[in-house]
A = this chain, B = another copy of it.
C-alpha cells in the first residue's frame, strides 16, 4: 500500500495522540491540527507535522488539507456533563467546527473522513445492548445532540459523494494520557481528600468502557463497503460506577467513604445504562482485547505516575 497522507484533528489530545502514534508506526505521513484547548504538547509524536491552529479557521487550514487521503476528525469538546453551563459550546466546538473540517476535506478531495462519535447519541435506548440501526427517540444532552448532528451533516456529505464517511460511536475510552472524565475526576478528588468521595448519581449507573489501544485499532482499521458506515465501538461488558471507584481506591491504597446521590442519573442527560452491540465491528475483524477492569487500573496507574496532568497547561 502506498504511504497514506493522514490528518488528525485533536492529535494532541488523549485518543488523538495515540492514533497519531499508531498511524506513524504503520508508515503514514501524518499532519496534526490542534488548538491546544485541551490537547497537550507532551503527547505529540515528534514525527508528525504540527499545525497549531483552530480547526474553525477554514482559510488558514486550506493548504494543510491539500493532498490528504484520510481525515481523522477527533477534535471536540469532550465534556458531556456540563453542557448547560454554556448552551452554545457543544454547538460551536463540536458541530460548527466539524462542518469546517468537512468543507476543507471536500474541497481537498479527501477520500476518507473518519469521525469520532459517541454512544451517548442513543440517549436512553430501549434496546440494550444497542445496535447501530436502533431507533433513536430523543437526544438527552447537548453533547449528544451536537455529535448526532455531526453524523447527520456527514450523512449528507456522503450522499453527495464528497468523501466516504466512517462514524465510530465510542463508549468512554480509558488508558494512558487520559485527562478528563470519571476516572480522572475521581483520582483528582481522592488525591486531594483520600477520606471521602462525593459521587454524582446513586452509583448504580452501568457503563461500558474501553482501552484506548482497542479504540485506536478500530479507528485505523475499520472501513465498510458503503459511502456512509456507522460502527459501535466498545466492549460487550459493563461496570458500575461503584465498582470503578473500588478499583481506583485499591490502586491508590485508600478506603474512602463514598457519598452517593439519590438518582440513577449523575446529571441531566446522563444515561443510566450504556452498552453497545459491537457485532458489526467484530464481523469485520475488530476485536477489543483489554478488559474494563484492566483499562481502569491502567488509567489510574498512569495518572498516579503523571500527577502533572492535574495542573492547568
Q: Which residues of A does B touch, CB under 8 Å? A: 83-84, 87-88, 91, 95-96, 99, 103, 106, 123, 133-142, 144-146, 148-149, 152-153, 155-156, 158-160, 228, 268-269
Contact = CB atoms under 8 A, between A and B. Distances in A.
Q: Lowest 5 A-B CB distances belong to which pairs?
A: A149-B149, A139-B155, A138-B155, A145-B152, A139-B152
Given A87-B103, A99-B91, A103-B87, A140 B159 contact: yes
B133 A158 contact: no
Nearest to A95: B149
B160 A153 contact: no
Nearest to A227: B138
A148 B150 CA distance: 11
Nearest to A138: B155
B268 A159 contact: yes
Nearest to A267: B160
Copies of this chain in the oligomer: 2
Contacts of A269: 156, 159-160
A257 B239 CA distance: 67
A127 to B, nearest CB: 10
A301 B80 CA distance: 53
Given A91-B99, A149-B145, A153-B91, A138 B228 contact: yes
Contact of A83 (B106, B145, B152, B156): B156
B135 A135 contact: yes
Contacts of A91: 96, 99, 153
Best-surrounded residue of A99, A133, A149 (most CB of chain B within 10 A): A149
Given A84-B160, A99-B91, A135-B135, A140 B153 contact: no
B149 A153 contact: yes
B159 A138 contact: yes
A268 B156 CA distance: 9
